[in-house]
């Protein structure tokens, strides 16, 4: 699975990929000083984001965690932009919108990238000594895209101390742990099927939400311990190949 990829994306690299593109797009620098980006709903073929760094755009476009993106210049993590874009097709899917953001980065930021495997520390999700404590999914299908209270087919994270998902696989759980741990988590449980998962832990490793204090006497364990005690699974440290998106070229966009 982890083969080195010599795939170069983008017209600037001489490969004319027929990727979807926005019909119109405006990019302007944001000097508000705000810390966090604000992303609007991607409905009606629209993509509206305020205060976004290039790193945020890459994370959104390629669905990769930051540790899997390499080669960015320093300004790509600090300079921020407001982007208003619209697809010709008002029924464009979220996947098509993500592809259009990739095209936007290639054309307007003159970005070229390639993918390669890099040896990194990662975690293997394995079965703990006393066996799994998993709850089989109540349903094997999702009637819709899920809601915050019923994230069917996916997960919801609340205050960095609770995670729950319904009708999910072990691979999906490993992917969600990857996001939380900021390190690749690979499913090595060998457990097939769908599950309803809920985990609660003390958020000390990730910091409290703004305005929330983490009490020293909170009973919940850390995420490592919670996964083992509540689910009968364990995150085991190991070294292995992790696919990384490497940015070869990137330029500041011309304002319009």
Per-residue pLDDT of the chain (256 residues; tens, 9 = 90+): 333 333 333 333 333 446 899 999 999 999 999 889 999 888 899 999 999 999 999 999 999 999 999 999 999 999 999 999 999 999 999 899 999 999 999 999 999 999 999 999 999 999 999 999 999 999 888 876 666 667 888 898 887 788 999 999 999 999 999 988 889 999 999 999 999 999 998 865 444 444 444 444 444 468 889 999 999 999 999 999 999 999 999 999 987 7
Chain-centroid distance, C-alpha 209: 19
**What separation in angstroms does the CA of 2 have from each of 36, 116, 180?**
33, 9, 22
At 141, list the tokens: 């299908």
- DSSP annotation string for 3-36: -----EESGGGT--------SEEEEEEE-S--SS
Residue 145 has a pLDDT of 60
Q: For residue 103, what pLDDT is reported?
A: 97
Check residue 160 and give its pLDDT.
Answer: 76
Specify the pLDDT at position 148: 66
List, in sequence order, every beta strand (DSSP E) within 109-200. Answer: 112-127, 135-136, 155-158, 162-168, 185-187, 195-200
pLDDT score at 217 = 47
DSSP state of 152: B
Kindly report the pTM of this predicted structure.
Answer: 0.75
What is the per-residue pLDDT for 159? 77
């Amino acid at each position: 699975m982890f083969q080195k990829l010599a795939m170069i994306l983008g017209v600037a690299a001489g490969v004319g990929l027929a990727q979807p593109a926005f019909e119109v797009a405006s990019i302007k620098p944001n000097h508000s000083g705000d810390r966090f980006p604000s992303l609007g709903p991607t409905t009606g073929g629209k993509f509206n984001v305020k205060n976004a760094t290039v790193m945020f755009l890459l994370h959104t476009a390629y669905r990769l965690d930051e540790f899997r993106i390499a080669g960015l210049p320093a300004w790509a993590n600090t300079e921020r932009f407001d982007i208003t874009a619209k697809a010709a097709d008002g029924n464009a899917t979220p996947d098509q919108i993500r592809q259009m953001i990739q095209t936007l980065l290639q054309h307007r930021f003159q970005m070229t990238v390639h993918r390669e495997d890099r040896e990194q520390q990662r975690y293997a999700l394995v079965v703990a000594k006393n066996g799994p404590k998993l709850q089989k999914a109540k349903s094997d299908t999702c009637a819709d895209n899920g809601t915050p209270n019923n994230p069917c087919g996916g997960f919801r994270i609340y205050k960095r101390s609770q995670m729950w998902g319904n009708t999910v696989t072990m691979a999906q759980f490993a992917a969600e742990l990857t996001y939380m741990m900021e390190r690749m988590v690979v499913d090595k449980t060998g457990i097939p099927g769908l599950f309803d998962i809920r985990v609660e832990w003390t958020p000390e490793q990730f910091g409290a939400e703004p305005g929330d204090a983490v009490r020293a006497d909170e009973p919940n364990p850390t995420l490592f311990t919670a996964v083992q005690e509540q689910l009968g699974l364990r995150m085991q440290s190991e070294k292995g190949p992790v696919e990384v998106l490497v940015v070869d070229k990137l330029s500041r966009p011309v304002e319009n």
